Amino acid sequence: MFTKILDYKVFSGTKKQLIQYIEDFDKVNIISGNPEILYSGMENEFLHQVYTDKTSVIIPDGVGTVMASKIVKNPMKEKIAGIELMEEIVKKCEKENKSIYLLGAQEEILKECIINLLVKFPNIKIVGAHNGYFDLENCEEIVEDIKHKETYALFVAMGCPRQETFIAKYMNSLPCKIFMGVGGSFDVFAGKVNRAPKWMIKLGIEWLYRVIKEPWRIKRLICIPKFLWRVIFNTDKMENK
């Protein structure tokens, strides 16, 4: 159910299988493994430790990661977008009467995100929320709030590596079962950022839509060929041993 890509074990099953798989964890940190995230882990020792920890599950969030699975000849069943998985977890929490906590983004975006989530999932228990503008070294009030609310799933939308740092630092002291860094997902739920049309998502070119809408993202795309080249080089090296 996993594909080995570089030093990472990336989940290779379906979204439904993933939801079932994480049930067996006492605590799980879900990593949205797009090429940029995985490449950053190869360059940063702290992130590498987080991504390869026994409590972490990396999902193939990106067409580049799916391409890498084909290069190593162990293709994934499907791409699992972080925002889609977050939505599935919220849906499951609503059904099972379990609580969620939202941490991150600007205050205005956070409020709109909560409103829209409650419209879509009227029975979801959002037990708390806080924007992402705080000192990671001085946030005991936030940590205590999450702890006091007995949060089941904690979604952290503060971008990499800030969200990973928060989760790694406080995971052991918090009662949550599911921890997930969700990047800009609150912006999407808030209606401030739109996802690509379904046909583009299906073709695996959602990245192109994002670049057209936000041209500054093109700099981040450089990580994709760098990541794939490293995968190819590593695969050739292993095969020639």
- Domain-wise residue ranges, the chain: 2-239
Q: What are the Cα distances from residue 198, in Å, to 6, 78, 183, 201, 206?
A: 31, 15, 20, 5, 9
Look at residue 237 in the predicted model and tell me its pLDDT.
Answer: 63
Query: How confident is the model over 115-124, as a mean pLDDT?
Result: 98
Look at residue 69 in the predicted model and tell me its pLDDT.
Answer: 97
Across all residues in the chain, what is the average pLDDT?
Answer: 92
Percent of the chain with pLDDT over 70: 93
Query: How confident is the model over 73-101, as a mean pLDDT?
Result: 97
Query: How confident is the model over 19-39, as a mean pLDDT?
Result: 96
> Rounded to two decimals, what is the model's pTM?
0.92
pLDDT beyond 80 at 74: yes
Query: How confident is the model over 134-153, as a mean pLDDT?
Result: 96
pLDDT beyond 70 at 123: yes
pLDDT digits (tens, 9 = 90+) for 90-108: 999 999 999 999 999 999 9
pLDDT beyond 80 at 204: no
17-21, 37-41, 223-227: which has the minimum mean pLDDT? 223-227
Query: How confident is the model over 150-157, as a mean pLDDT?
Result: 97
